[in-house]
């Protein structure tokens, strides 16, 4: 079953998703805040700014946002970075109507550390059909058509199977989850873990250390998830363990690259400059710690804040983590 999608956010991932949605037989329009970049994409059929080297199919519409784009749309997929998520909601809120509002944005409300779903409720209202799209997917591999799987989480769309089927094809498999809270947490917190894993590798601490670090961090994610009311099982799925593995072990991860640079001796500011922008994990941990969501009860996650924003040396934090009191592995 095909559908009609408005993908809002013409970065690398939004562009790659548009390619996949067309491959699935859907009508797709790509839009964003950046009118200049949209003009370039429409002219060259390539997003040279964010996803160079991948041609956009001619059937993908590329248009600045206007209300008329939603006239024949079934689903809106928001793919902007978390600092711009509220701005996107404010732009769309009066025109969502009966459309599904899906977001692939990973992060947290910068004002209070809350879930993006709470922001959606406050801006758009409670009657909108919503879903979260999250999982282990790099834009480049998605665009070229290498096999990938992702999770669509919703408890408000009446028949989410139809939506998942319309998005799926021979190279993209969309699984369903009834746990939007857990899927959001997994997608937002995995970026912080990727920074920690990068720092570990930058310090040349070895494979044993990184395996322990990532495993304990995943346990911290699960424990936070339970506090938020999520299902623990969700964190063993694509949006939890899957995304943690991808971002912590593959050098295409911008969050991992940030950690590598810092572990290798660069300051946070210099590492951010090297990435040409602040990766989502750095924004996320700042928001979560400064709003009291993450604290020293999540030592791996909290240690990333200490390194990035408190000026603590990476090797000092590594020693402190190893000197913590001994306890049962399953004790939270």
The answer for 205, left when phi > 0, alpha when psi is -120 to 50, beta otherwise, is: alpha
* Tokens encoding 92: 């769309």
Please confirm, yes or no, whether 190 is among the known catalytic residues.
Answer: yes
Query: Per residue in 193-209, is it b (16+ CB within 10 Å) or e — as a string?
Result: bbbbbbbbbbbebeeeb
Q: In degrees to the nearest 10, what's the CA dihedral of 37, 40, 42, 46?
A: -100
- Cα–Cα dist 279/132, whole Å: 20
Residue of 222, 221, 134 lying closest to 176 (CA atoms): 134
Q: Give the ranges where the chain is alpha helix by DSSP (H).
A: 12-23, 35-44, 85-92, 116-124, 139-144, 160-167, 180-202, 207-228, 243-249, 254-263, 268-275, 280-290, 299-309, 314-322
- Cα–Cα dist 190/300, whole Å: 12
* Tokens encoding 40: 């370039």
The answer for 254, left when phi > 0, alpha when psi is -120 to 50, beta otherwise, is: alpha
* Residue found by looking up tokens 């961090």 in the block: 217
The catalytically annotated residue of 190, 210, 252, 319 is 190
- Cα–Cα dist 66/4, whole Å: 16
* Residue found by looking up tokens 């363990």 in the block: 241
Residues whose CB falls within 8 Å of the CB of residue 160, separated by 6 or more in sequence, listed in order: 131, 152, 154, 176
Q: What positions carry a catalytic annotation?
A: 190
């Amino acid at each position: 079953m095909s559908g009609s999608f408005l993908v809002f956010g013409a970065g690398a991932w939004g562009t790659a998703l548009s390619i996949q949605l067309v491959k699935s037989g859907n009508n797709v329009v790509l839009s964003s805040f950046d009118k200049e970049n949209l003009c370039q994409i429409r002219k060259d059929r390539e997003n040279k700014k964010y996803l160079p080297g991948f041609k956009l199919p001619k059937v993908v519409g590329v248009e600045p946002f206007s209300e008329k784009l939603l006239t024949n749309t079934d689903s809106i997929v928001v793919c902007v970075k978390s600092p711009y998520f509220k701005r996107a909601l404010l732009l769309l809120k009066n025109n969502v109507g009966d459309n599904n509002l899906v977001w692939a944005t990973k992060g947290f409300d910068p004002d209070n550390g809350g879930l993006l779903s709470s922001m959606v409720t406050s801006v758009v209202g409670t009657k909108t059909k919503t879903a979260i799209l999250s999982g282990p997917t790099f834009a480049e591999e998605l665009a070229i058509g290498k096999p990938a799987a992702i999770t669509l989480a919703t408890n408000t769309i009446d028949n989410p199977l139809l939506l998942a089927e319309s998005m799926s094809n021979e190279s993209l498999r969309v699984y369903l989850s009834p746990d939007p809270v857990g899927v959001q947490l997994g997608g937002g917190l995995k970026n912080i873990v990727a920074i920690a894993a990068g720092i570990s590798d930058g310090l040349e601490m070895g494979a044993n250390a990184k395996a322990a670090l990532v495993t304990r961090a995943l346990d911290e994610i699960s424990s936070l998830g339970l506090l938020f009311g999520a299902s623990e099982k969700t964190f063993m799925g694509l949006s939890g363990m899957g995304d943690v593995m991808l971002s912590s072990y593959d050098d295409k991860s911008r969050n991992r690259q940030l950690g590598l640079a810092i572990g290798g001796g660069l300051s946070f500011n210099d590492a951010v400059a090297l990435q040409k922008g602040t990766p989502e994990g750095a924004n996320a941990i700042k928001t979560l710690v400064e709003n009291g969501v993450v604290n020293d009860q999540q030592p791996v996650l909290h240690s990333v804040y200490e390194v990035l924003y408190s000026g603590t040396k990476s090797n000092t934090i590594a020693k402190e983590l190893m000197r913590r009191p001994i306890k049962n592995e399953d004790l939270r």
